[in-house]
Amino acid sequence: MEKKNILLGISGGIAAYKITYLIRHYKKNNYNVKVIMTENALNFISKVTVETLSENKVYVDSFEMDFNDKKDGFIPHIKLADFADLFILAPATANVLGKIANGIADDLLTSTVIALKKNIPKLIFPAMNVKMLENSFTQKNISNLIKEGYKVFQTDKGELACGVIAKGRLPEPETIYSLTKRFLTSQKLKGKKILITSGATLEKIDPVRYISNHSSGKMGVSIAEKCYEYGAEVDIVSGKYSVDSYLDSQIFVSSTEDMWEKIKKLFGKKKYDYVVMAAAVSDYYAKD
């Protein structure tokens, strides 16, 4: 695999600790990683930890240059922007989102974002309290970033640092790695629309019992995620107890009839290039 360069921005949210695991995923898979941290991010994870994991110097201050930097004419925000084949900002706080969306460049991270090449993917993973996330200014900033070509991913729902169960969580490192692989892989299926089914259907006998099978849905979900990685637009229709995919397009259904009806509706909306029927549908149903 070609050794691509990932520029990773870390802003000052509690979820910053997860990024240490994300860096390990990239390093284990042969990517170069350089990291820019905000001053506030240093309150959550140390510079030494990130430098050890990334095997590169961590950049914080726009004017922090050692002797070799000066000798080589190193301007941090320009050189770092030129280094990147892919830019990832995780976690992205409401503060940093607002700065980038409004063209403010008052530290090394935001200055580098402004200097990034137009053609490289710019991926943003917000993480914050749900009230901050749902604030109209935050939502407006996210919309503006999307309009400008940034890819802003949905937050997860779960327990937040304040103890509330709500949206605002940073996705797990494994999920972020999987979502970003699409932007580091040859896009063999770019422009293709693919429908995939997975898992077992469930046929009710009565309010307590049902007929089903032991299919986990792993095969269908794996096919779907690999297709997404190669650039396809993917829809997944899964049995009720299929394993979850990190893809937002996964739809869960119960019975074989439910699955068929959902597939027909999707066919009415899209013209698919490929259909992969990996679901283990039931052979029988109980007569009323």
Residues designated as active site: 162
Q: At what angle do helices 47-54 and 19-28 cross, to 10 degrees?
A: 20
Phi and psi, residue 138, nearest 5°: -60, -45
Q: Which two tokens stand for residue 209?
A: 């019992």
Gap between the Cα atoms of 113 and 96, Å rounded: 11
